[in-house]
């Protein structure tokens, strides 16, 4: 009997396969199609030729942990213990899975805010927990009254995602204040803060759980080198958590992957200290602005994108079809692949929203928007 009976092939794989079959411009899956920094490549090649090919230490190489410690201190003013409060993971998804396996037990409830990244629910199910899905508002920001009324003594964890995938929305100070008020009433609830797009932000400044003193002793923060440095195929991420939580997380981590790619760790340890992550926002804002400008003549209505490299588009002026049907027709008839937003929710709405990824070359974005403007 299947442990995940309702899980099939993800929509990301489906749409990318369709895009390849129909020679469509692929704006579906969230990965860049432009080269990574040449300096990063050079460091990697140099490390390949060094003696760094055996197991790295289970929590991560000391050099990379130290570099992450410095990055968090520089960006958020938080002093983390490299030895006790940080963990290098095989991508953010493995980090999220490991946290949930370590901390969620049978009958524990985990609050998930829909629409959300599709790895949360299966990980909760496999841990024996119960995912409690709460829809975000139609503007993709939290309904704090609904969240407050749902949290109970059974709640073990709340998973948040800021900047948000798929919508690109970001929280403001009032959102964090509302969350903190809820957690004050339930001191045993843990926060799993998915912040993989933390450095890809535009007009608004990202607020991290790293900077919330009231949350630090009960928060696990997930970050992604793949998203930050355009190296999604490396599957490299990291976690930050207080010692009492990290001890339990490491117990599971050592039996899931034990340790993470040694050459990638050596490369990133060197690269982080040479790179200004604050330049990412301007880099991706140029792409966002270009994409939005080029779609200005289309029938799509574009929603706000505060961060990430995603743009939600409302197609209600074009079709009455559900979003899955519409995105498939978008590939077959118009040659552009996108992702239907409904697949990110337990109870899909009929908002007629689809998600485009603009982490592409300007040429790709121009090609895609020329097709989209013909609809």
**pLDDT in the model for residue 192:** 98
Residues 50 and 179 in one domain: yes
The reported pLDDT for the residue numbered 237 is 98
Is residue 213 packed enough to be buried (19+ CB in 10 Å), middle (13-18) or exposed (0-12)?
A: exposed
- Give domain status of residue 5, yes or no: no
Does residue 265 belong to any structural domain of this protein? Answer: yes
Q: Is residue 6 part of a domain?
A: no
Q: What total of structural domains would you count in the chain?
A: 2
Same domain assignment for residues 94 and 202 = yes
Same domain, 112 and 234: yes
- Pair 42, 24 in one domain: no
**Pair 294, 362 in one domain:** yes
Global pTM value: 0.96
Read off the DSSP letter of residue 304: P
Same domain, 19 and 45: no
Instruction: Kindly state whether residue 141 falls inside one of the protein's structural domains.
Output: yes
Environment class of 211 (CB within 10 Å of its CB; exposed 0-12, middle 13-18, buried 19+): middle
Which of 231, 251, 272 marks a domain boundary?
272
Residues 202 and 347 in one domain: no
Using DSSP bridges, classify how beta strands 109-114 and 237-240 pair: parallel, antiparallel or unpaired: unpaired
Q: Which of 272, 294, 320 is the last residue of a domain?
A: 272
Per-residue pLDDT at 364? 97
Query: Are 145 and 230 found together in one domain?
Result: yes
Residue 154 DSSP class:
T
Q: What is the CATH number of the domain that holds 148?
A: 3.40.640.10
Per-residue pLDDT tens listing for the chain (375 residues): 899 988 877 888 888 899 899 999 999 988 899 999 999 999 999 999 999 999 999 999 999 999 999 999 999 999 999 999 999 999 999 999 999 999 999 989 999 999 999 999 999 999 999 999 999 999 999 999 999 999 999 999 999 999 999 999 999 999 999 999 999 999 999 999 999 999 999 999 999 999 999 999 999 999 999 999 999 999 999 999 999 999 999 999 999 999 999 999 999 999 999 999 999 999 999 999 999 999 999 999 999 999 999 999 999 999 999 999 999 999 999 999 999 999 999 987 889 999 999 999 999 999 999 999 999
Question: Is residue 59 domain-shared with residue 89, that is, in the same domain?
Answer: yes
Residue 2 maps to a domain: no
Instruction: Kindly give, in sequence order, each residue whose CB lies less than 8 Å from that of residue 55, ignoring residues fewer than 6 positions away.
Output: 258, 259, 262
Same domain assignment for residues 58 and 194? yes
Range of the domain at 315: 11-30+278-372
Kindly report the CATH number assigned to the domain that includes residue 356.
Answer: 3.90.1150.10
Select from 241, 272, 303 the last residue of a domain: 272
- Euclidean distance between CA atoms 298 and 306, whole angstroms: 21
Question: Which tokens sit at 98?
Answer: 């490991």
- Within a domain: residue 4? no
Q: What is the pLDDT of residue 42?
A: 98
Same-domain pairing of 241 and 197: yes
| DSSP label of 289 | H
Q: Are 126 and 260 in contact (CB under 8 A)?
A: no
Query: Does any domain span residue 143?
Result: yes
Whether residues 307 and 192 share a domain: the answer is no
Residue 1, in any domain of the structure: no
């Amino acid at each position: 009997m299947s442990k995940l009976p309702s899980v099939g092939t993800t929509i990301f794989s489906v749409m990318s396969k369709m895009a390849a079959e129909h020679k469509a411009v692929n704006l579906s899956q969230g990965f860049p199609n432009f080269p990574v920094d040449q300096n990063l490549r050079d460091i990697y090649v140099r490390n390949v030729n060094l003696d760094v090919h055996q197991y790295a230490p289970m929590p991560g190489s000391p050099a990379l942990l130290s570099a992450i410690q410095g990055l968090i201190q520089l960006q958020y003013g938080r002093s983390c213990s490299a030895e006790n409060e940080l963990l290098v993971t095989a991508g953010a998804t493995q980090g999220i899975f490991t946290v949930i396996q370590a901390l969620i037990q049978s009958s524990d409830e985990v609050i998930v805010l829909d629409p959300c990244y599709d790895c949360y629910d299966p990980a909760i199910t496999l841990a024996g927990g119960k995912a409690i899905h709460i829809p975000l508002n139609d503007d993709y920001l939290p309904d704090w009254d609904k969240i407050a009324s749902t949290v109970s003594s059974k709640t073990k964890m709340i998973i948040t995602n800021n900047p948000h995938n798929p919508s690109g929305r970001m929280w403001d100070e009032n959102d964090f204040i509302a969350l903190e008020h809820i957690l004050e009433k339930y001191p045993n609830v843990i926060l799993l803060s998915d912040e993989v797009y933390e450095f890809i932000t535009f007009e608004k400044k990202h607020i991290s759980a790293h900077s919330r003193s009231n949350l630090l002793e009960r928060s696990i923060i997930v970050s992604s080198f793949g998203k930050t440095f355009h190296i999604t195929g490396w599957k490299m991420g990291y976690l930050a958590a207080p010692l009492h939580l990290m001890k339990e997380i490491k117990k599971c981590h050592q039996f899931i992957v034990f340790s993470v790619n040694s050459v990638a760790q050596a490369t990133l340890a060197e690269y982080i200290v040479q790179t200004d992550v604050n330049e990412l926002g301007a880099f991706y804002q140029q792409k966002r602005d270009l994409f939005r400008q080029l779609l200005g003549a289309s029938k799509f209505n574009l929603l706000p994108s505060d961060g990430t490299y995603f743009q939600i588009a409302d197609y209600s002026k074009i079709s009455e079809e559900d979003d899955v049907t519409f995105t498939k027709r978008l590939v077959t008839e118009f040659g552009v692949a996108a992702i239907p937003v409904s697949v990110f929710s337990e109870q899909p709405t009929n908002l007629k929203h689809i998600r485009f990824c603009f982490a592409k070359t300007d040429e790709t974005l121009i090609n895609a928007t020329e097709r989209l403007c013909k609809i």
